[in-house]
Structures are given as structure tokens and as C-alpha cells.
Structure 1
């Protein structure tokens, strides 16, 4: 069962990543990713995997120790639970990046590769997006296009 939950946790998230990266301007993409609840299935899998081992997780999380964490993550339930946790939270980050970029008018040509990187290396993807977000200035239309026509 642990292997199955490990596998499906990614497949619950994959369709959302696919539309954000491959079809960012599709009219349904924004609707599909509008709710933060899209990350709920992987996070429920995390809870299912973690619950039988709550004591172990609680001990490691309340008294962080590298050796204890390493021991927990070396187990199938520990590794699968952390994987589901990462999948859920990475999707939440990707969703935020996608929606924020659309609101700011940042081109999907710039954002889609960053979202792709975020799937595999979330911290790097988020850092790159934050740098882009900080320095990005949307193109300004020429003055003739901005001036309303009197009629």
C-alpha cells in the first residue's frame, strides 16, 4: 500500500503541473488551479502514511536530530510520506507562482520553464521566480496605443 500511495501522490498533482506549464494561457487553466485545494490529495496521502508512525514523526519533528531524521526517512513509510508532503507543497508553490505571474503580466514563456524546474527542485524554482518577480517590468505599450481616442 505504501508504494501505491507513493506513486499516486505525484499523479494527483501532475495534471495541474501540466496545464500550468504546457497550457498557461488556456482559459480553463486559471479555473483548474484557482483553488488551493488542488494540493489536498497529496497532503491527505501524507497524513495517511504518517498517522501509523505519528510517534516517530512527532519525536523527529519536535527534537530535530539529523540521525533520527535519516533513520525515519530510510523507511518506506517515512520516505513516501515526505514525498507526498513535497508533492503537495510544491504544487501549492507552483500554483502561487502561476497565479502571481498571470496577475503581474509575466510572460508564460518565462514562467513555464521555472515551473518545470520547481517540480524537481522547488527551492531553486521559487528562488528564480522571486528574482524574476522582483526585477520584472511588464512591457509598456507605445504612447499612441495608450492614448484614448476622442470621439
Structure 2
């Protein structure tokens, strides 16, 4: 079952990545990706993998050791659960990047490679976005800092 869930995990997330990367300004993308619930299917896969193994997972995450984590991830269920964990969080972060870039008016040609980097190597994509975002000022909800009082 873990192999099936492993394969299903990215398939559940891929349509949302495709919308954000290939059609970032389409009105349906905003409607669909606007909801944080886009990660729910992947989180359900994660729950199906982790909850039955909670007795083995909790000791590893509450008192982590490299050997304990390596042993857990060395199983098919552990690897599939870790994959679902990564895909779910990367999608959530990618969604935030997409929204933040949209609010700031970041060009799609700049946003697309950042999102591709995020889907492939999540933290690096986030780091690049955080480095680039200062170049574009948010157009919605930005409050200018108060002038210093003399």
C-alpha cells in the first residue's frame, strides 16, 4: 500500500503546481489555489501512513536521533510518509509564495522558476523567494511605516 500512496502523493499535488507555474494569473487559479485546503488530499495520505504507525513514529520525532530517523525512513511506509510530509509542506509554501508574488506583482517569468525550485527543493525555493520579494512592494495591505517623531 505504501508504494501506491507514494505514487498518489505527488499526483494529488501536481495539478496545483501546474496552475501556479503555468497559469499564475488565470482567474481559476486564484479561485482554486486561494484555498489552503489544496493540501488536504496530501495531508490525508500522510495521515493514512502515519497514524497506524504512531507508536513507531512518536519516539523518533519526540526524541530524534540520526539513527532512529534513518531506521524509520528506511522502511517503505516511513519513506512514503516522509514524501507526503515534504510534498504537503512544499505545496503549502509554494501556495504562499504564489500568493505573495501575486500581491507584489512579481512577473510570471520570475515566479515560475522560483516555484519549480520550490517543488523540487522546497527550502531553496523559499530562500530564493525571500531574497527576491523585497524587489517588489506588495500592492495589497501594505502599511507604510510611521515617520519618526522628531
TM-score, normalised via structure 1 length: 0.88
Any idea what SS the aligned residue of 2:64 has?
coil
Any idea what SS the aligned residue of 1:133 has?
helix
- Counterparts of 1:6-85 in structure 2 under 5 Å? 6-85=6-85
Instruction: Give the equivalent residue in structure 2 for 1:114.
Output: 114
Instruction: Count matched residues.
Output: 138
- Counterparts of 1:125-144 in structure 2 under 5 Å? 125-136=125-136
2:50 and 2:81 in contact (8 A); partners too: yes
> Structure 2: how far apart are the matches of 1:14 and 1:66?
31
Any idea what SS the aligned residue of 1:106 has?
coil
TM-score, normalised via structure 2 length: 0.89
Any idea what SS the aligned residue of 2:34 has?
coil
Instruction: Give the equivalent residue in structure 1 for 2:103.
Output: 103
* Unaligned segments of structure 2, at least 5 residues: 139-150
> Structure 2: how far apart are the matches of 1:134 and 1:43?
31
RMSD of aligned Cα (Å): 1.1
* Unaligned segments of structure 1, at least 5 residues: 139-151
Instruction: Give the equivalent residue in structure 2 for 1:148.
Output: none
